[in-house]
Structure 1
Amino acid sequence: MNTLTDQDLRDVVAGFSIPGDLISALPFGTGHINDTFQLTFDQAGTLVHYTLQRLNTTVFRDPASLMENVRRVTTHARASLLAAGAPEASRRALTLVPTRDGGILLQNARGEAWRCYHFIEKCSTVDIVDTPAKAFEAARAFARFQALLADMPGGRLNETIPDFHHTPKRYAALHAALRADPLGRAAAVQREIDFALAQEADAGRLVAMMAAGEIPERATHNDTKINNVLLDDATGEGICVIDLDTLMPGSSLYDFGDMVRSATLNIAEDSLDYASAICRRDIFEALARGFLAAGGFLTAAERAQMAFSGRLLTLECGVR
């Protein structure tokens, strides 16, 4: 994405309805898709923070539909938390900052798409789970998030990345790539290719179960990495689910399975130290306990496929 000057950022910030004086706008976080900045405002002598993001419109080509999903989900989640009397409800759901004209998305003359959230204080994220307690809290937070959305009105969410977790279509793309082999590299990874193809018979299980009505379609997060949960700095509790760009119709099993894929690994996802990689059983068990602790909405069929979903989503990511 285009490089930004300080004045570029100030022009963007001016488009949002934020009182006070802008003190700083600094790069924030470790995300690879969107550009994120932490804003600091002086509001009558109090420093208040906000999160400003420039959406990657190469990945998310319909930012308006994406932001409509975010608006629906955050509005419903916050209302449900308040109605239930949840403690510190304002910290448990993201809150969008409106633009000057009352919208939720700022699209400027440079062709960029921007949004802004209230910053949630006294929380942090982790990239690698180092204790079962953190795994439990993150999994429980994701299950609570799905539970909040179980009665959301208004029909299906927009599908921002079509067929994102449609594993058979991921296999179809793999077969096409193998046939083309434009750089002649397939032979060098034949062992890995053979392994992936040997698992293909199971690739369509969840898709078929959803099509048959055996497991329900739900409003799901679809990118349940452990660093997409804010953990309270004082208590360690999973407070808020973040990074809502992949909110779409899906299966609860996609969310649990992707969490297993990413959280049970003992090294960073992008590490090249493959020989050290292991799947940690104690972390898997903590994830399952946490998800089930807040998963009263899950059907028996969904619970029965939880262990399989971890295997499937790991396979899908490898095939991709």
Structure 2
Amino acid sequence: MYSTKIDEVIQNFDFKGDLRSYDKYGSGHINDTYLVRFTGGNYILQRINHEIFKVPEQLQENIALVTEFIGDKIEAQGGDRYRQTLTLVKTISGENFYRDSLGLYWRAYIFIDDAVSYNLVKNPDDFYQSALAFGNFQYQLSDFPVEKLHYTIPKFHHTPTRFDSFIKAVEADKKDRVKLVQDEINFILERKAFTNLLWDYHEEGKLPLRVTHNDTKLNNVLIDARTGEGLCVVDLDTVMPGFTLDDFGDSIRFGATTGAEDERDLSKVNFDLELYSVYVKGYLEGCQGTLTDLEIELFPEGAKMMTLECGIRFLMDYLEGDTYFKIAYDDHNLVRARTQFKLVADMEENWDAMKDVVNEYL
């Protein structure tokens, strides 16, 4: 239903050439995405989900600031800004987004050709390249004034708040599903104290806020199809102030696993210590010395925190009737939650080994 005004939308962006075609593109959970083909080049067109991102104007301001900052650095170093970072396409009136006659918000990017992304780690080098890319993203923005950025989703990775919201969802039990997930609820309750750890360090002045991506899944890095090297970080909706541990941890929970995020058979879902080690190496190389010793020391905590938090979010969405994440079947979010909790349990079993890996860099 959201594509009913797409012709109107296309006409209001400053695309080059004549329209050839457009098709649905990608598999994102949140926004609707199209590949739009013009004689002058290809573009990505996205409807911004303003039910989740309540102030799209601020979201787009964040993206414009960050991509222009990175693009200028790339250009100064002799690189290709149109290939190594996202480039927004302005509307014909010069704006970074378009609001259509239905009140829906849209944005467009120049399409990056000869690039691929992966939903699951196929080999360690792919994961290493994504680590380099996200680490480099952190490095490129290490001197960006973080206070200029808006919080596109307030307290997005504030795990204590996520825990409190989850408890309210359990108490409300809108869909009468609590009775079906008591084991999963208990799993979360047993780790309540842990959810405060990172924010306690921050309040003590020990953990800084940085510009963070906040959705560092493997499939949010474009890999150069010709060289196999990490090329460009995409999906910048959640770029805002946060902990580098959020970015590191989200990558581990998504990539250092032997199973998909929605694998029903939990025997196929295991924490992969080798991939974790590969990512630590690549991420630190990409960051180029910008992280503190405490941030590096807390990599295992970051991995566990983001995995637990994501499981909490999936389970809460299941309890509330699947209003946030797109689902393909009734218990999709429950399946997703269970994979995250399996990974948390595996991390806990491998805790000493995870610590040993990071200690090599301290």
The normalised TM-score by structure 1 is: 0.93
Aligned counterparts, 1:93-132, within 5 A:
93-132=85-124
SS at match of 2:231: strand
Q: Which piece of structure 1 moves more, 204-213 or 302-311?
A: 204-213
1:32 maps to which of 29, 34, 40: 29
SS at match of 1:109: coil
Is it true that 1:279 corresponds to 2:278 in the alignment? no
The AA in structure 1 aligned to 2:122 is D
Aligned counterparts, 1:43-62, within 5 A:
43=40, 48-62=41-55
Name the structure 1 match of 2:350.
Answer: none
Name the structure 1 match of 2:242.
Answer: 250
How far does the alpha carbon of each residue in 1:5-47 deviate from its partner, in whole angstroms, 9 at most, with x for none?
4xx322211101122101011111111211111111113xxxx
Cα 1:52–1:192 shift into 2, 3 Å: same
Is it true that 1:190 corresponds to 2:189 in the alignment? no
2:6 maps to which of 4, 9, 15: 9
Taking the aligned partners of 1:228 and 1:249, their CA distance within structure 2 comes to 18
Residues 260 and 269 of structure 2 are in contact (CA less than 8 Å); yes or no, is this contact kept in structure 1?
no
Higher helix fraction: Structure 1 or Structure 2? 2
1:241 maps to which of 233, 250, 253: 233
Shift in Å, 1:273: 2.5
Q: Which piece of structure 1 moves more, 268-277 or 157-166?
A: 268-277
Cα 1:154–1:207 shift into 2, 3 Å: closer
Cα 1:183–1:96 shift into 2, 3 Å: closer
C-alpha RMSD of matched pairs (Å): 1.5
How far does the alpha carbon of each residue in 1:147-200 deviate from its partner, in whole angstroms, 9 at most, with x for none?
111112473310011111111111112222333334444344322222221111
1:145 maps to which of 137, 152, 177: 137
Cα 1:233–1:152 shift into 2, 3 Å: same
Shift in Å, 1:251: 0.6
Q: How many residues align?
A: 312
Is it true that 1:167 corresponds to 2:149 in the alignment? no
Identity across aligned pairs (percent)? Answer: 39
Taking the aligned partners of 1:221 and 1:35, their CA distance within structure 2 comes to 20
The AA in structure 1 aligned to 2:308 is L
How far does the alpha carbon of each residue in 1:263-287 deviate from its partner, in whole angstroms, 9 at most, with x for none?
1122221232323211111111111
Shift in Å, 1:143: 0.9
Name the structure 1 match of 2:18.
Answer: 21
Residues 217 and 250 of structure 1 are in contact (CA less than 8 Å); yes or no, is this contact kept in structure 2?
yes
Taking the aligned partners of 2:178 and 2:14, their CA distance within structure 1 comes to 52
- What 5-or-longer segments of structure 2 have no aligned partner? 314-362
Is it true that 1:66 corresponds to 2:42 in the alignment? no
Residues 156 and 219 of structure 1 are in contact (CA less than 8 Å); yes or no, is this contact kept in structure 2?
no
Shift in Å, 1:134: 0.6
The normalised TM-score by structure 2 is: 0.83
Taking the aligned partners of 1:267 and 1:219, their CA distance within structure 2 comes to 30
Taking the aligned partners of 2:50 and 2:215, their CA distance within structure 1 comes to 18
SS at match of 1:155: helix
